[in-house]
């Protein structure tokens, strides 16, 4: 299960916290969340090596296991999180178990929870390492144009340009289970637009290996991380750290395909 390197994620969050003033607060909080997520991932029992499809995926996410880990997540958010989430965590911690169970069940039943729903943060934060655990040994079907995760049907969180041959190959990374799948270079990950003139790119001066990939047809965007230019990137962490790019995109009328777990 080395494909999900939790130690590297936590280390990268700490590195970026030290040198990134604008996102220091959210990265510090995220580092605490990652610590709990690593414990969840490492504490789960082995899974059956069944073929993964969107139809079977969510059935393998055990609500009882999530319910077991939810108090630890609530405690971290209550003591380390921003005020709104901390208050919600305190309310959930004091609520009957049935309410917490309902929250988890509602998240799994709703394929696209509202990003502004604070309570869905806790379910997503607990279920994400469980989702990664389920797909850790799964084989990703070959595809270059599927706009949702071929294993769990989640929306893409980000794009990654990975080295291959003398250049790079574009992949999308799932916002839920972190599965990567190959995706064409000139293609909108929402509406399928292929006209290069309608697919603007914004590349800031720093960090130079990160850019916004937007679409003027559907007005959605995601961030892309060029591993051919900077092999030290940890896209899941750098995605959270580059809040300034999200602000730029919003100011220019673009909407993110899927907010990250921190809500940006």
Cβ contacts of residue 19 below 8 Å, gap of 6+?
A: none
Q: What pLDDT, on the 0 to 100 scale, is given for residue 53?
A: 77
> Is the peptide bond prior to 214 cis by the omega test (within 30 degrees of 0)?
no
257 pLDDT band, cuts 50/70/90, is very high
Compute the C-alpha angle 49/65/89, nearest 5°.
135
2 pLDDT band, cuts 50/70/90, is very low
In terms of Cα–Cα distance, which of 219, 262, 236, 243 is closest to 122?
262
Ranges of beta strands (E only) in 57-179 are: 156-164, 167-174
Q: How far is CA 211 from CA 53, 99, 161, 249, in A?
A: 31, 41, 11, 10
Domain locations in the chain as residue ranges:
6-135, 156-256
Q: What pLDDT, on the 0 to 100 scale, is given for residue 50?
A: 60
Q: What pLDDT, on the 0 to 100 scale, is given for residue 206?
A: 77
CA dihedral over 240, 243, 248, 254, signed as positive or negative: positive
1 pLDDT band, cuts 50/70/90, is very low
Residue-wise pLDDT tens digits, 161-214: 999 887 889 999 999 999 999 999 999 999 999 999 999 999 987 778 999 999
Residue-wise pLDDT tens digits, 64-110: 999 999 999 999 999 999 999 999 999 999 999 999 999 999 998 87
Q: How many residues does the chain have?
A: 264
Structure tokens at 192: 């399928």
Residue-wise pLDDT tens digits, 107-138: 988 755 555 567 789 999 999 999 999 998 88
3-32: average pLDDT: 93
On the question of pLDDT at 38 being above 70, the answer is: yes
58 or 148, which is more confident: 148
Structure tokens at 109: 């039943």
Q: At what angle do helices 83-94 and 118-135 cross, to 10 degrees?
A: 80
**Do residues 37 and 6 lie in contact, with contact meaning Cβ atoms separated by under 8 Å?**
yes
């Amino acid at each position: 299960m080395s494909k999900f390197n939790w130690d590297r994620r936590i280390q990268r969050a700490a590195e970026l916290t030290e040198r990134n003033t604008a996102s220091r607060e959210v990265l510090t909080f995220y580092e605490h969340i990652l610590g709990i997520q690593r414990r969840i991932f490492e504490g789960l029992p082995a899974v059956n090596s069944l073929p993964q499809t969107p139809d079977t995926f969510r059935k393998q996410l055990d609500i009882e296991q999530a319910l077991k880990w939810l108090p630890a997540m609530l405690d971290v958010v209550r003591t380390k999180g921003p005020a709104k989430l901390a208050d919600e965590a305190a309310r959930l911690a004091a609520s009957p178990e049935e309410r917490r169970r309902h929250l988890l069940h509602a998240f799994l039943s709703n394929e696209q929870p509202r990003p502004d729903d604070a309570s869905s943060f806790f379910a997503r934060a607990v279920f994400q390492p469980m989702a990664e655990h389920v797909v850790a040994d799964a084989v990703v079907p070959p595809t270059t144009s599927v706009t949702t995760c071929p294993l769990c049907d989640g929306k893409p969180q980000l794009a990654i340009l990975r080295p291959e041959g003398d250049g790079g190959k574009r992949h999308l990374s799932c916002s839920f289970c972190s599965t990567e799948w190959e995706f064409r270079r000139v293609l909108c990950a929402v509406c399928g637009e292929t006209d290069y003139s309608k697919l603007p790119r914004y590349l800031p001066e720093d960090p130079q290996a990160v850019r916004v990939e937007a679409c003027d047809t559907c007005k959605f965007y995601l961030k892309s991380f060029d591993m051919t230019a900077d092999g030290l990137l940890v896209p899941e962490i750098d995605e959270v750290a580059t809040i300034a790019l999200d602000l730029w995109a919003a100011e220019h009328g673009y909407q993110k395909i899927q907010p990250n777990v921190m809500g940006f």
